[in-house]
């Protein structure tokens, strides 16, 4: 709680200490002694609002008066903290210090320490200085959770509380009549609403709505016809354009097709000729190919007979035979030499030229020579052996090669057979594949047609979606532009209002300055020179003011000591017309009254101008926002349509997928059989290709085997060469051994053999050699025969190669023939197809030329690829459709004109010239477009605008005010109930059973308001369903009912406008001295102070609406002298129980109960205030 308040050089107090702990404090003293000054300092702590302290604006402001000096400050002391208040840079600063206040830190003897030292002292403990008044209030009323240690109490809506507290702070001065209490209760609700209704305008607008109802219903009946008329118009224009285009196309195509007949006949003739030529080429080609084949067959037969002959010769002249023969032939010279030697030796021996011994020795020498020659022969034999082996193995290799070539040829022939067979199966597979492709193509065509059909619908849907999105974008762009227009209008409105405000503010400011000037004239400082002049000198304003210092007027007369010594102020005459003067007080009062009237008139004029600006803006705003709402609804409809179209696309896609799946299944069924055949054929082809691959692998293996054989033969050759070489060596050794044995034998015989024996041996040797020569002759004949046939035999590879070439030529020619035959045959088939197509086209052209006869054709032409026959059929169909729709167009236009032409609606034009309209005249068609635009856009905007105007009428002018009225009424009644609950606890003895009641006489009006509220709620429900509002018959009935209800209220209240304050009155009921009273105004008339007790009870009960816990607050009570001590005690207990304190202000101390009170005496000593605490002073009357 606030324990004390200290003033240090503040508010004319050099120093003052006031103890508030007892909560009941008497301030005693004369006027101007500082009582109000001290009270305002306390009051300021609670509201922090200098304007609400009741300080005269012409006097020093709170901050200037209370903080005149640099060392001026106030301290508010609480239990465990204090608040230091001072001024800096023209602003009041408040600093909370979380410590008990120690006066000795501020006062040093009789001297006040400098403010800076006090600030530093406050900062020693935890301290906080709010930056704003609102922050300060949040702290003291417990809404700043950071500084709950500094709160007085917890009040959430503290601003409302402060407003109430300011009203009743000084209980005696507070006005307590029924109206003031009622308005004060409204203050606690934070709402005062008044509903103003311009009845005539309301009625006129209602009548307009009724007329619009009739138009709406008529127009709604014609909407389908307007739609039909617009579609027929578009169809007719489109049909007319299409018919004109068709005529131009027919003209073009007739000319083209007439020329085309001869060309087609000529083309057919050329194609027939080409077909005959192709058949002739096939016949010639077949004959030529057969001649080639016969020639090749003859050559192959001839070469085969040669090949057979060579093979026989090769068998006869084998390498082995040739080698044996050559070996024999090679020994011919040696044998001939031996034969000559043996014959010579025989002759010599027979003639006796030599003895047998000599001859044997010669034979021995000959054998020795033979042994030497034998070594050379062996070397030569080795060379010959190697050559023979090479020839022999080369022949074997060639034989193997031929064998493998033969086998390879057989395999290749097998491959060719298999490939041909494979080719047949591939062709068969291709046929199946073609069938499969045809099926695939057929179903692809069906699928494409299906997809195309769906795609066309998809494209239509996409185009619709695209158009809808474009329409949506256009609407959004339009909304954007409308919003910009609306913003511009709003800015213009604000600018115009601001200009109006500035203009009137300037005008009113000038008036306020004049009012202040005149108010200052009316104000007079007590005991001032101005007061002296006003009381003692007439016309001083005109006579003296122009020539004196204005400051003299406020100077104290004790200082100036003025006296009236003459009727004339000056002893000279002056022309004061050119000098400044002031009006008299009477003139000032009159001027203030005039200026206040002018100020009121200007304010009303300002409000009227601003209202006109707002009304003009609101009218345009309604139209624009209605258009925006219509656009938004259309955007929503478009989005819904887009969603539906997207859904249709999805469904269409699902259906497409389903149809494609069915088509796929059907296709798969057809393909299945073909694929089985293809699969079987593929299996055969694979088997054949596997066989071919196996054969190719076999060929590779054969080649590899041949290489291996060659390698093996070479190894065998080497091995055989080594073996035969060894044999030769053995033979050499054997021969050498035989010859040595012969030498030994001859050596032994030399002495023993007779001449005849030797002769016989020689004869045998000679015979043996002769036989060998005979064999050599046969061998030479064999070699001569071989050499004759050798060249022919060596032609074998060439013959074989030629046979292969001819076979290849034959095969290639057959293949080429087959390809050419197929190619030519295909050309023949295509030619036949072209002939058939041209014949069909010729038939269609002849039919079109027949149909076109009798038509009126245009000189203008449009190129086209369509047939004339189809164009004529399409023209006749569209021409019939055009005639039918033209009749319908006239009928529909007549119906619309008859139904709507009587209504004068802006933007609606239905005065058609039916004949011109049916002839599709542009001006008349534009009326159809405007009507369609009105139906699709303007009509809905017009409906929106009208509905919005009605909503504004009901919602803005009625519903919102009625709703606030209703809520205010309920809140008001609840607040009265709470106040009565608080008042029910009051019992001052003479005053009890205090109660605030509503007057009964206005309850019928409240009931009507309840009915109006109900009717408006129902009507607004209809309005919420905008599309159904004009179609609902109850809409008009409800509007009529509301109108009648307001007529009733108007008669009852007899005012053009009214609020809750106008229709609700209260009375204050209470019992005083056992007598029930009802008062409208509470006056201070009771001799026992009952009126004061009643005011205190009501004031405290109002405060208790906010105070939920005990609060350290004070009320001010003047004229306490009218209260008996008993009633003082009752009042004190009642107030203190609720945590409140009372400061009793009185010039003289009355009879009081001193228990639980403090008394302070205030005095003004030479312009300085002094306050002294009194305890049992002579002026105090003590009552036991």
* Domain coordinates in residue numbering, the chain: 2-176+1065-1182, 195-205+956-1063
Q: Can you tell me the distance from the alpha carbon of 295 to that of 301, in angstroms, rounded to the nearest whole number?
A: 10
Mean pLDDT of 296-301: 83
Q: CB of 303 within 8 A of CB of 867?
A: no
Least confident of 15-19, 569-573, 702-706, 860-864: 569-573
Q: What is the pLDDT of residue 936?
A: 79
Q: CB of 45 within 8 A of CB of 8?
A: no
Q: Can you tell me the distance from the alpha carbon of 884 to that of 439, in angstroms, rounded to the nearest whole number?
A: 46
Mean pLDDT of 843-849: 83
For 312-324, what is each residue's pLDDT tens digit? Answer: 777 777 666 776 7
Of 225, 126, 426, 353, give the one whose Cα is nearest residue 910.
Answer: 225
Mean pLDDT of 272-277: 88
Higher pLDDT, 78 or 401: 78
Paired tokens of 273: 């000729």
Q: Is the pLDDT of residue 341 over 80?
A: no
b/e 674-711 (16+ beta carbons within 10 angstroms → b): bbebbeebbebbeebbebbeebeebbeebeeebeebee
Give the Å distances, CA to CA, from 185 to 362, 781, 1139. 181, 163, 22
- The share of the chain scoring above pLDDT 90, in percent, equals 9
Mean pLDDT of 188-193: 59
Q: Is the pLDDT of residue 195 over 50?
A: no
b/e 1102-1118 (16+ beta carbons within 10 angstroms → b): bbbbbbeeebbbbbbbb
DSSP state of 904: -
Q: What is the pLDDT of residue 1024?
A: 61
Least confident of 535-544, 713-722, 1068-1077, 1127-1136: 535-544
Fold adopted by 2-176+1065-1182? Rossmann fold (3.40.50)
Least confident of 81-85, 476-480, 787-791, 883-887: 787-791
Least confident of 246-260, 575-589, 765-779, 1146-1160: 575-589
Q: What is the pLDDT of residue 531?
A: 55
Q: CB of 130 within 8 A of CB of 150?
A: no
Mean pLDDT of 176-205: 63
Q: What is the pLDDT of residue 1183?
A: 45
Higher pLDDT, 761 or 842: 842
Mean pLDDT, the chain, rounded, equals 79
Of 911, 498, 407, give the one whose Cα is nearest residue 706.
Answer: 407
Mean pLDDT of 921-935: 83
Mean pLDDT of 328-347: 73
Q: Can you tell me the distance from the alpha carbon of 504 to that of 133, in angstroms, rounded to the nearest whole number?
A: 31
Mean pLDDT of 542-553: 66
Q: What is the pLDDT of residue 111?
A: 92
Q: CB of 77 within 8 A of CB of 3?
A: yes
Q: What is the pLDDT of residue 1178?
A: 47
- Map tokens 């000054």 to a residue: 37
Least confident of 234-248, 701-715, 745-759: 745-759
Q: What is the pLDDT of residue 17?
A: 95
Higher pLDDT, 462 or 965: 462
Q: Can you tell me the distance from the alpha carbon of 668 to that of 439, in angstroms, rounded to the nearest whole number?
A: 10
Q: What is the pLDDT of residue 304?
A: 83
Mean pLDDT of 130-142: 84
Q: Is 1162 left (phi over 0), alpha (psi -120 to 50) or beta?
A: beta
122 pLDDT band, cuts 50/70/90, is very high
Q: Is the pLDDT of residue 1020 over 70?
A: no
Mean pLDDT of 526-541: 59
Cβ neighbours for 375, distance < 8 A, ≥ 6 positions apart: 732
Q: Is the pLDDT of residue 192 over 70?
A: no
Q: What is the pLDDT of residue 755?
A: 63
Q: Can you tell me the distance from the alpha carbon of 1050 to that of 1060, in angstroms, rounded to the nearest whole number?
A: 14
C-alpha count within 13 angstroms, C-beta hemisphere, residue 589: 5
Q: Output phi, psi for 1183, to 5 deg.
A: -115, 130
For 466-518, what is each residue's pLDDT tens digit? Answer: 888 888 888 889 888 888 998 898 898 899 988 898 988 888 898 888 888 87
Q: What is the pLDDT of residue 935?
A: 79
1160 pLDDT band, cuts 50/70/90, is very high
Q: Is the pLDDT of residue 1044 over 60?
A: yes
For 150-168, what is each residue's pLDDT tens digit? Answer: 998 888 888 888 888 888 8
Higher pLDDT, 941 or 355: 941
Least confident of 129-138, 245-254, 786-795, 914-923: 786-795
Q: Can you tell me the distance from the alpha carbon of 511 to that of 38, in angstroms, rounded to the nearest whole number?
A: 35
Q: What is the pLDDT of residue 918?
A: 81
DSSP E strands in 940-1062: the ranges are 991-998, 1057-1059
- Map tokens 């030629």 to a residue: 802
Q: What 3-state DSSP class applies to 570?
A: coil
Q: What is the pLDDT of residue 1038?
A: 73
Higher pLDDT, 1064 or 646: 646
In sign, the C-alpha dihedral spanning 439, 441, 443, 446 is: negative
């Amino acid at each position: 709680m606030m324990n004390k308040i200290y003033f240090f050089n503040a508010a004319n107090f050099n120093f003052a200490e006031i103890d508030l702990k007892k909560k009941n404090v008497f301030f005693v003293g004369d006027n101007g002694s500082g009582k109000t000054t001290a009270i305002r300092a306390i009051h300021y702590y609670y509201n922090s609002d200098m304007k609400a302290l009741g300080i005269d604006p012409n006097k020093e402001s709170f901050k200037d008066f209370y903080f005149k000096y640099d060392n001026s400050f106030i301290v508010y002391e609480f239990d465990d903290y204090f608040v230091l208040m001072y001024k800096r840079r023209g602003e009041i600063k408040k600093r909370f210090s979380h410590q008990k206040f120690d006066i000795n830190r501020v006062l040093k003897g009789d001297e006040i320490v400098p403010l800076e030292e006090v600030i530093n002292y406050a900062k020693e403990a935890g301290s906080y200085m709010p930056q704003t008044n609102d922050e300060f209030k949040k702290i003291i009323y417990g809404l700043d959770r950071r500084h709950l240690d500094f709160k007085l109490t917890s009040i959430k809506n503290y601003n409302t509380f402060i407003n109430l507290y300011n009203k009743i702070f000084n209980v005696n001065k507070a006005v307590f009549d029924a109206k003031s209490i009622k308005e004060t209760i409204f203050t606690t609700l934070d709402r005062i609403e008044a509903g103003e209704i311009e009845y005539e305008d309301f009625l006129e607008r209602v009548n307009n709505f009724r007329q619009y109802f009739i138009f709406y219903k008529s127009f709604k009946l014609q909407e389908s016809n307007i739609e039909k008329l617009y579609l027929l118009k578009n169809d007719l224009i489109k049909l007319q354009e299409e018919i004109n285009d068709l005529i131009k196309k027919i003209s073009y195509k007739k000319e083209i097709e007439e020329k085309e007949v001869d060309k087609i006949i000529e083309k057919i003739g050329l194609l027939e000729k080409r077909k005959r030529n192709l058949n002739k080429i096939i016949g010639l080609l077949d004959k030529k190919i057969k001649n080639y084949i016969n020639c090749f067959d003859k050559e192959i037969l001839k070469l085969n007979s040669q090949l057979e002959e060579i093979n026989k010769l090769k068998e006869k002249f084998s390498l082995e035979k040739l080698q044996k023969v050559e070996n024999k032939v090679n020994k011919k010279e040696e044998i001939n030499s031996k034969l000559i030697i043996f014959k010579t030796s025989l002759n010599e021996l027979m003639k006796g030229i030599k003895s047998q011994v000599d001859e044997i020795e010669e034979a021995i020498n000959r054998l020795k020579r033979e042994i030497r020659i034998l070594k050379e022969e062996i070397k030569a034999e080795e060379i010959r052996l190697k050559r023979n082996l090479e020839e022999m193995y080369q022949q074997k290799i060639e034989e193997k090669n031929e064998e493998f070539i033969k086998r390879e040829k057989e395999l290749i022939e097998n491959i060719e057979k298999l490939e041909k067979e494979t080719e047949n199966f591939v062709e068969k597979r291709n046929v199946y594949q073609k069938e499969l492709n045809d099926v695939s193509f057929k179903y692809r065509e069906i699928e494409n047609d299906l997809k195309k059909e769906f795609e066309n619908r998809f494209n239509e849907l996409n185009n619709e979606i695209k158009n809808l999105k474009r329409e949506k974008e256009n609407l959004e762009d339009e909304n954007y532009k409308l919003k910009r227009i609306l913003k511009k209008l709003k800015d213009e409105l604000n600018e115009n209002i601001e200009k109006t405000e500035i203009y009137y503010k300037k005008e009113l400011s000038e008036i306020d300055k004049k009012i202040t000037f005149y108010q200052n004239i009316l104000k007079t400082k007590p005991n001032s020179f101005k007061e002296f002049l006003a009381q003692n000198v007439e016309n001083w304003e005109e006579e003296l003011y122009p020539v004196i210092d204005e400051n003299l007027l406020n100077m104290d007369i004790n200082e100036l000591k003025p006296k009236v010594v003459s009727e004339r102020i000056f002893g000279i005459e002056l022309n004061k017309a050119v000098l400044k003067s002031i009006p008299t007080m009477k003139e000032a009062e009159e001027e203030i009254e005039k200026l206040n009237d002018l100020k009121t008139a200007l304010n009303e004029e300002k409000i009227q101008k601003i209202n006109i600006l707002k009304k003009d803006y609101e009218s345009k705003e309604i139209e624009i926002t209605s258009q925006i709402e219509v656009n938004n609804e259309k955007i929503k409809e478009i989005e819904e349509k887009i969603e539906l179209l997207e859904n249709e696309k999805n469904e269409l896609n699902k259906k497409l997928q389903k149809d494609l799946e069915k088509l796929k299944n059907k296709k798969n069924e057809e393909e299945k059989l073909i694929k089985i055949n293809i699969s079987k054929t593929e299996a055969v082809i694979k088997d054949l290709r596997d066989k071919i691959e196996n054969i190719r692998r076999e060929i590779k293996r054969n080649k590899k085997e041949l290489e291996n054989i060659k390698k093996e033969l070479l190894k065998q050759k080497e091995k055989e060469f080594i073996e035969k070489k060894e044999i030769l060596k053995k033979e050499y050794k054997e021969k050498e051994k035989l010859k040595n044995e012969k030498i030994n034998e001859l050596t032994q015989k030399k002495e023993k053999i007779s001449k005849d024996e030797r002769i016989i041996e020689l004869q045998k040797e000679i015979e043996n050699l002769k036989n060998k020569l005979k064999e050599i002759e046969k061998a030479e004949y064999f070699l001569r025969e071989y050499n004759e046939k050798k060249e022919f035999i060596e032609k074998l590879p060439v013959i074989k190669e030629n046979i292969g070439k001819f076979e290849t030529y034959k095969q290639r020619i057959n293949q080429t023939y087959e390809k050419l035959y197929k190619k030519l045959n295909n050309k023949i088939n295509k030619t036949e197809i072209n002939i058939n197509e041209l014949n069909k086209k010729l038939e269609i052209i002849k039919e079109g030329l027949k149909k076109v006869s009798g038509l009126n054709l245009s000189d203008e032409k449009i190129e086209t690829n369509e047939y004339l026959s189809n164009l004529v059929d399409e023209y006749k169909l569209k021409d019939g459709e055009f005639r039918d729709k033209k009749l319908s167009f006239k009928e529909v236009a007549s119906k619309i004109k008859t139904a709507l032409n009587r209504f004068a609606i802006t933007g609606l034009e239905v005065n058609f010239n039916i004949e011109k309209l049916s002839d599709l005249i542009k001006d008349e068609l534009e009326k159809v477009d405007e009507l369609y635009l009105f139906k699709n856009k303007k009509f809905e905007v017009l409906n929106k605008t009208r509905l919005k105007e009605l909503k504004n009428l009901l919602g803005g002018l009625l519903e919102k005010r009625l709703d606030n009225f209703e809520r205010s009424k309920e809140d008001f009644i609840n607040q009265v109930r709470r106040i009565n609950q608080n008042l029910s606890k009051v019992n001052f003895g003479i005053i009890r059973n205090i109660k605030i009641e509503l007057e009964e006489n206005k309850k019928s009006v409240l009931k009507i308001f309840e009915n109006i509220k109900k009717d408006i709620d129902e009507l607004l429900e209809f309005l919420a369903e905008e599309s159904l509002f004009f179609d609902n018959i109850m809409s008009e009935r409800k509007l009529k009912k509301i109108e009648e209800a307001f007529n009733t209220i108007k008669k009852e209240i007899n005012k053009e406008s009214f609020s809750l304050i106008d229709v609700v009155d209260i009375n204050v009921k209470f019992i005083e001295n056992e007598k029930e009273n009802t008062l409208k105004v509470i006056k201070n008339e009771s001799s026992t102070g009952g009126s004061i007790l009643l005011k205190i009870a009501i004031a405290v009960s109002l405060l208790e609406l906010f105070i939920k816990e005990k609060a350290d607050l004070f009320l001010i009570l003047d004229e306490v002298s009218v209260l008996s001590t008993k009633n003082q005690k009752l009042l004190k207990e009642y107030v203190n129980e609720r945590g409140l304190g009372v400061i009793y202000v009185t010039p003289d101390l009355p009879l009081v109960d001193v228990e639980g009170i403090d008394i302070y005496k205030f005095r003004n000593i030479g312009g300085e205030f002094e306050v002294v605490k009194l305890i049992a002073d002579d002026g105090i009357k003590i009552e036991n």
